[in-house]
Amino acid sequence: MASFKKILIANRGEIAIRVMRAANEMGKRTVAVFAEEDKLSLHRFKSDEAYRIGEGLGPVAAYLEIPEIIRVAKMAGADAIHPGYGLLSENPGLVDACDAAGIVFIGPRAETMRKLGDKASARRVAMEAGVPVIPATEVLPDDMAEVRAMAEAVGYPFMLKASWGGGGRGMRPVMSAAELEDKVLEGRREALNAFGNGEGYLEKMILNARHVEVQILGDQHGGLYHLWERDCSVQRRNQKVVERAPAPYLTQGQREELCALGLKIARAADYQNAGTVEFLMDRDSGAFYFIEVNPRIQVEHTVTEEVTGIDIVRAQILIAEGASIAEATGVASQAEVKLNGHAIQCRITSEDPQNNFIPDYGRITAYRGATGMGIRLDGGTAYSGAVITRFYDSLLEKVTAWAPTPEMAIARLDRALREF
């Protein structure tokens, strides 16, 4: 089994620091990359080495420039790259470039990404595996007359979704034909800027739904576990803001049914490393419908770690080195993955609540976090004196509360939030 000596994190902020911490605990050196606009970002200073990338490029474009990432990895002598979430994390081109350079990509294979990272393709995988899906169109063509015909065939209302990427980017509710064209053009522009690909499709909207997802881990030896489920129903502008595990409204039978569906899709794709299979649950019927696979670590992975005791990022690294899931997690079999208590996470963001929560920026003159019994903080850019720019996501820090019951976890998180 290979053992990485140095890992480059092709990301920034909170997730870059999260990966660095796991790698440091394993005795591995870490390499950070940063755009010029991010030269004061905390992730730069948490790493063993840090290099500026993307000279002459924009603040986000710098992180999307695959040749730059590979150049720095080679120069620094990194033998593996972890993509984090967002940015290039779902781009199979980065995996191909890693393979060509002899660098290990810590995540699924490029073939799997193409099959599942493209949400339209992932729907086909789900249907072939016998997993229920929500009615939707194919990838939308450029011709708006064809788009209108496809929409009429499925029926309003819809959710416009980007074929590549996540985090709510490129998503728009489309309630009627009158707003279709504007929403499609807006969504394409946003997806193109965020992921370098503007493809999208229309998915029938379930108006009374819960958003619930299954965390999976697959190894290079055919092993596959689920780590139970998370509820992510509390969202704003199609981006999750509160996440919890397990979903308190599910019966044990529903929980097992949902996780079995997640494993079905992962098995059909021969999935390796960490990923998340996302579903909508119709509150009226109780039925589950597959919506997408995120072939990467998720922002909300912390709540699953808290209730299972499994360090998912550490497991990602070990699996990429060739370990089995049992070796990577310390859990001998699926039957031994147990749920313990309840966890709930909130995101601390730099947003203006008096101006429709638009992202805010400037210097943080004072910052007081919260700790105490059962509280976990995953920091990114939050500290006194930090300069928050307008170029990136507004996430400063994540706070996760664990307790034996849902009510205690909510009370603990409420207390922690009031201390910020």
* Interval 295-336: pLDDT, tens: 999 999 999 999 999 999 999 999 999 999 999 999 999 999
Q: How sure is the predictor about 202, in pLDDT bands with cuts at 50, 70 and 90?
A: confident
Please tell me the predicted confidence (pLDDT) of residue 10: 98
pLDDT digits (tens, 9 = 90+) for 124-160: 899 999 999 988 877 888 888 888 888 888 788 888 8
Query: Under a CB-based contact definition with an 8 Å cutoff, are residues 275 and 311 in contact?
Result: no
Question: Looking at per-residue confidence, does 400 or 182 come out higher?
Answer: 400
CA–CA gap between residue 118 and residue 308 (Å, rounded): 29
Angle between helices 312-321 and 13-25 (to 10 degrees): 60
Catalytic residue status for 390: no
User: Whole-angstrom Cα distance, residue 80 to residue 99?
Assistant: 10
Taking each helix axis from N to C terminus, what angle separates 180-195 and 144-154, rounded to the nearest 10 degrees?
Answer: 110
Give the model's pLDDT for residue 166.
64
Q: C-alpha angle with apex 272: 271 to 275, nearest 5 degrees?
A: 75
Q: Over the stretch 212-248, which tens digit does the pLDDT of each residue have?
A: 999 999 999 999 999 999 999 998 877 889 999 999 9
DSSP H or E stretch at residue 1: none
Given 29, 296, 314, 347, the catalytic residue: 296
* H/E run at residue 116: helix 110-116
How far is C-alpha 340 from the geometric centre of its chain's CA atoms? 23
User: What is the pLDDT, as a whole number, of residue 372?
Assistant: 94
Q: Is the pLDDT of residue 374 over 90?
A: yes
SS (H, E, C) 326-379: HHHHCCCCHHHCCCCCEEEEEEEECEEHHHCCEECCEECCCCCCCCCCCEEEEE
Residue 167 has pLDDT above 70, yes or no: no
Dihedral sign computed on CA atoms, order 254, 255, 258, 264: negative
Task: Name the residue among 66, 305, 60, 335 with its Cα closest to residue 191.
Answer: 60
Distance CA 363, CA 282 (A): 43
pLDDT of residue 1 exceeding 80: no
Q: What is the pLDDT of residues 3-21, one digit of tens each?
A: 999 999 999 999 999 999 9
Please report the domains of the chain, with CATH numbers, ordered by start residue. 6-106 (3.40.50.20), 135-204 (3.30.1490.20), 209-419 (3.30.470.20)
pTM value is 0.86
pLDDT of residue 309: 97
CA dist 106 and 317 (Å) reads 6
Report the candidate in 132, 256, 276, 167 with the shortest Cα–Cα distance to residue 213. Answer: 276
Q: Cα angle vertex 181, ends 116, 236, to 5°?
A: 60
pLDDT at 204: 80
Rounded CA Rg of the chain: 21
Top-confidence residue, 361 or 408: 408
| 73-102 pLDDT per residue, tens | 999 999 999 999 999 999 999 999 999 999
- Please give the Cα distance from 344 to 330 (Å, whole number): 24
**Rounded to the nearest 5 degrees, what angle is found at the Cα of 103, between the Cα atoms of 325 and 199?**
85
Q: What percentage of residues in the chain have a pLDDT greater than 90?
A: 68
Residue-level pLDDT at 165: 65
Whole-number Å distance between alpha carbons of 416 and 414: 5
